[in-house]
Amino acid sequence: MLAQIKPSAAEKKRLHDASTALISRIEKLAEDCGLNLKVMLVGSAARGTWLAGDYDLDIFLGVGVEDDLEKALQLARRISPDHREKYAEHPYVQARIDGFEVDLVPCYLVDDAAHLRSAVDRTPFHNRYVMQRIAGLEDEVLLLKQFMKGTGVYGSELKVGGFSGYLAELLVLCYGSFAAVIEAASLWKPGLRLDLEGLGRVEQADPLVMVDPVDPERNVAAALTLNRMLQFALAARTFMTRPDLEFFFSNPPAPLSDREIEALMEERGTLPLLIEFAAPDVVEDVLYPQLRKAESSVKALLERKGFSILRSDVISYGNRAALLLEMEVWRLSPACRREGPPVWQADHITRFLAAHSQILSGPYIKDGRVVVEEKRRYAQAADLLTAELDRLSLGRHISASIRSGYKIYAGKELLAIKDDGYRIFLAEYYRARCIRPDAT
Amino acid sequence: MLAQIKPSAAEKKRLHDASTALISRIEKLAEDCGLNLKVMLVGSAARGTWLAGDYDLDIFLGVGVEDDLEKALQLARRISPDHREKYAEHPYVQARIDGFEVDLVPCYLVDDAAHLRSAVDRTPFHNRYVMQRIAGLEDEVLLLKQFMKGTGVYGSELKVGGFSGYLAELLVLCYGSFAAVIEAASLWKPGLRLDLEGLGRVEQADPLVMVDPVDPERNVAAALTLNRMLQFALAARTFMTRPDLEFFFSNPPAPLSDREIEALMEERGTLPLLIEFAAPDVVEDVLYPQLRKAESSVKALLERKGFSILRSDVISYGNRAALLLEMEVWRLSPACRREGPPVWQADHITRFLAAHSQILSGPYIKDGRVVVEEKRRYAQAADLLTAELDRLSLGRHISASIRSGYKIYAGKELLAIKDDGYRIFLAEYYRARCIRPDAT
């Protein structure tokens, strides 16, 4: 099994040669323009913990003074014409070079992790910490990372909310092997605290705290959500009972066909509502929190008005994004109840009754309050959304996108969208399976 | 107006003659069989506070020793062949005599209201207390009682939960006149405490406490519900703004025709469900609390399973009784969510997954718990009721009645019942108006 995930000798040589050549080229360019630059290969490529088939290089361009940061960025732009500028906390360049995906990240060189100027400055410290300790455990890291990939919990980006590569490495250092991590994780509960160096001053109430050994106030697992942590724990428990290669290599589902979607809708009898709009031009770590915020605002609106939602999710595909709401109740009776003030608040009652003059029944008294029954404004969930969506708090970029146009697809109208990414999302949505139920 | 509600001189004479003759007859019968009986006219007829057109006489048969109680009851049975035996706390006889509805109630003669053996023994004390103080205020009491009748808050029986005649009398004694009661009541809030003699030791947290002047630990308004209290307060406030004879004489609505019911169902778009069964052969004060209990059990079941109810009510007509549930949501998607235990409870999860093997989606993790989606057992409210009704706690007599048969009418099936009392109930249900909205 390891053979499948461990880079071959040829692959290792290719990565070594490519990174060495690239670093020399960058050093030469820096020298030419008199820029004092420390060029560093960091990340899994540097530590020998990359998975076979990954062609990612993280190259950090360390500078000593602020003015040189911008020069380092300019230099990074010149490495390859095939590049995009990205932005995390600082701008960096993502380039395609010799078949590798290369991140060229300017950072400050600081002498102590306690004096960081930005989050990227921490990476060289992480690199050093792991490199000094990981020798002999690289395969354990590879197994753990692949297990995390296969069970859908790998990746600390906000879209996933899972485990970072660094966190996986620290877990191996902490427990000693892949098998030991699995065994420990199978019993995990939220509130767990791990501290390799026993220096921790982390105060957060995160579900898992892994004290960063190079910066003891920081939780390495800060981006890990409760559900991903427990998904990993459940997968570990299941794997211990019935170990299977499937845990390492999950096949993403095929895009659903029209007929499959129709069959699922028929079987479930729910009404899917898809609110679709242009994806704002921001990175996923900005987009996804806004999509989640929009999702929760829309759900709160629907539930406040008496509708109910079986489940919901968010997606971005191509240059589009969407909220999917699977409705358990999407139509309500036209008649509805409006509860007014307590009877003894005479002025409020006068105003309440004046504001509700077209009544079907009442006014009557219930639990001490005046109540009337009147026609509901929106008896269909889709009508409510159409009327109120642009008044909701959806996140800055999504609000702007919604204002410039959106479309609501209901039920079989969802078939109108043919995009493969969207159809795979639907397959995953309907399956919604984080473990095989027969395996526990 | 008073002329309409105040008994005429002829009516007074008729009542006086009838009650005097009846009391003499009973005294003679008692003497004949050597029974030591104190025959008393009590209630509104004795106090001159009965409303024109009421032909009710309350005659209490006071005895000194327990053995005589049964003899008094036997004697009561002999007064008129046209009688029924009733049962409150003690058995009594209701008879029709000379066009009067006469309650013949055996009771103990006690020397002090603190030494009562049963609730009926208190009545002679109430009678004495009011008779000694009400002279000159009889018309005020008549106005208040009629106002309470017209606004639907008169009657302390559990079906109504309103004001007793004795409570109305005490309110007049307390505030001094009908107008003063109305003015005070217009500002009532729950938690009000009235104590004519300043002796109160009442501990109850009832919405209105009126300390019984002859038994200071008792709340005369114990049967008054919060909503009836506030309905009276609201009517009083409305009456002060726009006094109108309508407040005294409400016309009960006409029975609804098929076409009217259909139009109301159409307009409201709700689904009425009527659970109809044989009315248990018990007095209304036993029946109605059980109907309310059954109503609340059924509502709780429906809401627990995700349905929602706009409003509900209970009714008895002829020898039938029924619960009416007006459904806001009466059909749910076939797919539903089942939330399992937290992920770290391994044994519970194994059992949960074993018990939910026919899943549509999942298992997945939400808020730290394992969740599956499966087919809902009952997607229609009526199916749920049919399946679960006889397992609910509905009150003793109603459970027995339901076990021996019931019928569920849904939507237009409600038209199958033609009974006038039922059709008037529907008219009142749909109107549900305790005050005229234009009058506030």
pLDDT for res B52 = 86
A367: which DSSP letter? T
Q: Which amino acid is at B341?
A: P
A117: which DSSP letter? S
Across the interface, whether the CB atoms of B306 and A306 are under 8 A apart is answered no
pLDDT beyond 90 at A210: yes
A377 versus A434: which is more confidently predicted?
A377
A59 vs B: CB within 8 A: no
Across the interface, whether the CB atoms of B329 and A332 are under 8 A apart is answered yes
Q: Is residue B406 part of a domain?
A: yes
**Residue A336, both tokens:** 């509805």
Cα–Cα distance for residue pair B360/B371, rounded to 1 Å: 11
Across the interface, whether the CB atoms of B435 and A367 are under 8 A apart is answered no
Contacts of A98 (CB under 8 A, 6+ apart): A18, A22
Cα–Cα distance for residue pair A37/A64, rounded to 1 Å: 8
Range A212-232 average pLDDT? 94
Cis peptide upstream of residue A190 (ω within 30 degrees of 0): no
* β-bridge partners, A211: A219
Across the interface, whether the CB atoms of A335 and B366 are under 8 A apart is answered no
CB atoms within 10 A of CB B277: 21
Domain boundary among B251, B286, B314: B251
Domain boundary among B116, B150, B178: B116
pLDDT beyond 90 at B1: no
Chains A, B: CB contacts under 8 A, how many?
A: 165
pLDDT for res B199 = 83
A185 vs B: CB within 8 A: no
Q: Select the residue of A271, A360, A430 nearest B267 (Cβ to Cβ).
A: A360
Range B72-81 average pLDDT? 90
pLDDT beyond 90 at B252: no
Question: Least CA distance to A336: which residue of chain B?
Answer: B310
pLDDT for res A67 = 85
pLDDT beyond 90 at A110: no
B373 vs A: CB within 8 A: yes
Q: Is residue A182 within 8 Å of residue A147, measured between CB atoms?
A: yes
Same domain, B287 and B313: yes
- Distance from the B184 Cα atom to the nearest Cα atom in chain A, whole angstroms: 12
Q: Is residue A125 part of a domain?
A: no
A344 vs B: CB within 8 A: yes
Cα–Cα distance for residue pair A418/A422, rounded to 1 Å: 7
Q: Select the residue of B269, B334, B365 nearest A333 (Cβ to Cβ).
A: B269
Q: Select the residue of B226, B237, B269 nearest A335 (Cβ to Cβ).
A: B269
Q: Which amino acid is at B41?
A: L
ipTM of this predicted complex?
A: 0.89
Give residue A422's pLDDT band: very low, low, confident or very high (50, 70, 90). very high
Cα–Cα distance for residue pair B194/A3, rounded to 1 Å: 89
B308 vs A: CB within 8 A: yes
pLDDT beyond 70 at A120: yes
Contacts of A363 (CB under 8 A, 6+ apart): A340, A353, A370, A371, A372, B433, B434, B435, B437
Q: Which residues of B touch A230 (CB under 8 A)?
A: 342-344, 365, 368
Supply the CATH number for residue B111's domain.
Answer: 3.30.460.10
Range B82-110 average pLDDT? 88
Same domain, A343 and A284: no
pLDDT for res B67 = 85
pLDDT beyond 90 at A385: yes
Range A216-223 average pLDDT? 92
Same domain, A370 and A407: no
Q: Select the residue of B334, B368, B437 nearest A190 (Cβ to Cβ).
A: B368
pLDDT beyond 60 at B264: yes
Across the interface, whether the CB atoms of A437 and B269 are under 8 A apart is answered no
pLDDT, tens digit (0-9, with 9 covering 90-100), for B227-244:
999 999 999 999 999 898
- Chain A contact probe: residue of B307, B338, B361, B378 with most A CBs at under 10 A: B361
Across the interface, whether the CB atoms of B333 and A270 are under 8 A apart is answered yes
Range B120-141 average pLDDT? 93
A333 vs B: CB within 8 A: yes
Alpha-carbon torsion angle B294, B298, B301, B302, nearest 10: -170
Q: Is residue B140 part of a domain?
A: yes
Cα–Cα distance for residue pair A265/A276, rounded to 1 Å: 19
Number of domains in chain A: 4
Across the interface, whether the CB atoms of A328 and B332 are under 8 A apart is answered yes
pLDDT, tens digit (0-9, with 9 covering 90-100), for B341-365:
999 999 999 999 999 989 999 999 9
B117 versus B408: which is more confidently predicted?
B408
Radius of gyration of chain B (CA): 27
Across the interface, whether the CB atoms of A365 and B432 are under 8 A apart is answered no
Question: Least CA distance to B229: which residue of chain A?
Answer: A368
B353 vs A: CB within 8 A: yes
* β-bridge partners, A61: A39, A106
Cα–Cα distance for residue pair B59/B100, rounded to 1 Å: 12
Same domain, A291 and A144: no
Q: Select the residue of B342, B431, B440 nearest A353 (Cβ to Cβ).
A: B440
User: Taking a contact as any Cβ pair under 8 Å apart, which residues of chain A between 87 and 126 contact chain B?
Assistant: none
Give residue B437's pLDDT band: very low, low, confident or very high (50, 70, 90). very low
Q: Which candidate, A156, A159, A162, places its Cα nearest to that of A126?
A: A156
Question: Least CA distance to A358: which residue of chain B?
Answer: B437
Domain boundary among B199, B230, B251: B251
A271 vs B: CB within 8 A: yes
CB atoms within 10 A of CB B283: 12
Share of chain B above pLDDT 70, in %: 99
Supply the CATH number for residue A341's domain.
Answer: 3.30.70
Walk across the sheet containing A83-87 and list its strands.
A38-42, A56-63, A100-108, A91-97, A83-87
pLDDT beyond 90 at B165: yes
Supply the CATH number for residue A174's domain.
Answer: 1.10.1410.30
First to last CA, chain B: 23
Cα–Cα distance for residue pair B192/A345, rounded to 1 Å: 16
Give residue A252's pLDDT band: very low, low, confident or very high (50, 70, 90). confident
pLDDT for res B373 = 97
Across the interface, whether the CB atoms of A373 and B437 are under 8 A apart is answered no
Give residue A106's pLDDT band: very low, low, confident or very high (50, 70, 90). very high
pLDDT, tens digit (0-9, with 9 covering 90-100), for A288-342:
999 999 999 999 999 999 999 999 999 999 899 999 999 999 999 999 999 999 9
Q: Is residue A128 part of a domain?
A: no
- Distance from the A415 Cα atom to the nearest Cα atom in chain B, whole angstroms: 20
Across the interface, whether the CB atoms of A268 and B360 are under 8 A apart is answered yes
B1 vs A: CB within 8 A: no
Same domain, B102 and B199: no
pLDDT beyond 60 at B438: no
**Residue A263, both tokens:** 């069959």
Range A132-153 average pLDDT? 95
Give residue B440's pLDDT band: very low, low, confident or very high (50, 70, 90). very low
Across the interface, whether the CB atoms of B268 and A188 are under 8 A apart is answered no
pLDDT beyond 60 at B439: no
Same domain, A75 and A95: yes
Cα–Cα distance for residue pair B63/B69, rounded to 1 Å: 6
Q: Select the residue of A189, A308, A365 nearest B230 (Cβ to Cβ).
A: A365
- What are the distances in angstroms from CA B130 to CA B133, B196, B264? 5, 12, 47
Across the interface, whether the CB atoms of A230 and B271 are under 8 A apart is answered no
Q: Is residue A155 part of a domain?
A: yes
Across the interface, whether the CB atoms of B433 and A362 are under 8 A apart is answered yes
Q: What are phi and psi of B98, to 5 degrees?
A: 55, 40
pLDDT for res A317 = 94
Cα–Cα distance for residue pair A239/A435, rounded to 1 Å: 10
Contacts of A289 (CB under 8 A, 6+ apart): A158, A395
Q: Is A280 strand, coil or helix?
A: coil
Cα–Cα distance for residue pair B3/A436, rounded to 1 Å: 83
Same domain, A298 and A346: no
Across the interface, whether the CB atoms of B361 and A432 are under 8 A apart is answered yes
Across the interface, whether the CB atoms of A350 and B440 are under 8 A apart is answered yes
Q: Which residues of B touch A237 (CB under 8 A)?
A: 346
Same domain, B324 and B345: no
CB hemisphere CA count around B165 (13 angstroms): 20
pLDDT beyond 70 at A440: no
pLDDT beyond 80 at B421: yes
A213 vs B: CB within 8 A: no
**Residue A417, both tokens:** 């969208």
Same domain, B370 and B383: no
Across the interface, whether the CB atoms of B268 and A334 are under 8 A apart is answered yes
pLDDT for res B436 = 58
**Residue B93, both tokens:** 């006889």
Q: Is residue B188 within 8 Å of residue B233, measured between CB atoms?
A: yes
- Distance from the A301 Cα atom to the nearest Cα atom in chain B, whole angstroms: 18
A23 vs B: CB within 8 A: no
Range A360-373 average pLDDT? 95
pLDDT for res B407 = 97
Q: Is residue A127 part of a domain?
A: no
Q: Which residues of B touch A361 (CB under 8 A)?
A: 311, 430-433
Share of chain B above pLDDT 90, in %: 75
pLDDT beyond 70 at A437: no
Q: Which residues of A touch B353 (CB under 8 A)?
A: 437, 440
Same domain, B395 and B283: yes
- Distance from the A290 Cα atom to the nearest Cα atom in chain B, whole angstroms: 20
Same domain, B286 and B322: yes
Q: Is residue A126 part of a domain?
A: no
pLDDT for res A436 = 58
Same domain, B365 and B419: no
Q: Select the residue of A268, A337, A440 nearest B334 (Cβ to Cβ).
A: A268
Q: Select the residue of B333, B372, B432 nearest A328 (Cβ to Cβ).
A: B333
Supply the CATH number for residue A382's domain.
Answer: 3.30.70.590
- Distance from the A303 Cα atom to the nearest Cα atom in chain B, whole angstroms: 12
Range B214-237 average pLDDT? 94
Across the interface, whether the CB atoms of A230 and B343 are under 8 A apart is answered yes
CA angle B44-B16-B156, nearest 5°? Answer: 15
pLDDT beyond 70 at A358: yes
Q: How many residues does chain B have?
A: 440
Ranges A40-49, A305-314, B402-411: which has the least confidence: A40-49
Query: Residue A363 is part of which domain span?
Result: 335-375
CA angle A113-A114-A120, nearest 5°? Answer: 45
3-class SS letters over chain B: CHHHHCCCHHHHHHHHHHHHHHHHHHHHHHHHCCCCCEEEEEHHHHHCCCCCCCCEEEEEEEECCHHHHHHHHHHHHCCCCCEEEEECCCEEEEEEECCEEEEEEEEECCCCHHHCCCHHHHHHHHHHHHHCCCCCCHHHHHHHHHHHHHCCCECCCCCCCCECHHHHHHHHHHHCCHHHHHHHHCCCCCCEEECCCCCCCCCCCCCEEEEECCEEEEECCCCCCHHHHHHHHHHHHHHHHCCCHHHCCCCCCCCCCHHHHHHHHHHHCCEEEEEEEECCCCCHHHHHHHHHHHHHHHHHHHHHCCCEEEEEEEEEECCEEEEEEEEEECECCCEEEEEEEECCCHHHHHHHHHHCCCEEEEEEEECCEEEEEEECCCCEHHHHHHHHHHHCCCCHHHHHHHHCCEEEEEHHHHHHCCCHHHHHHHHHHHHCCCCCHHHC
Q: What are phi and psi of A347, to 5 degrees?
A: -65, -45
Question: Least CA distance to A436: which residue of chain B?
Answer: B363
Q: Is residue B100 part of a domain?
A: yes
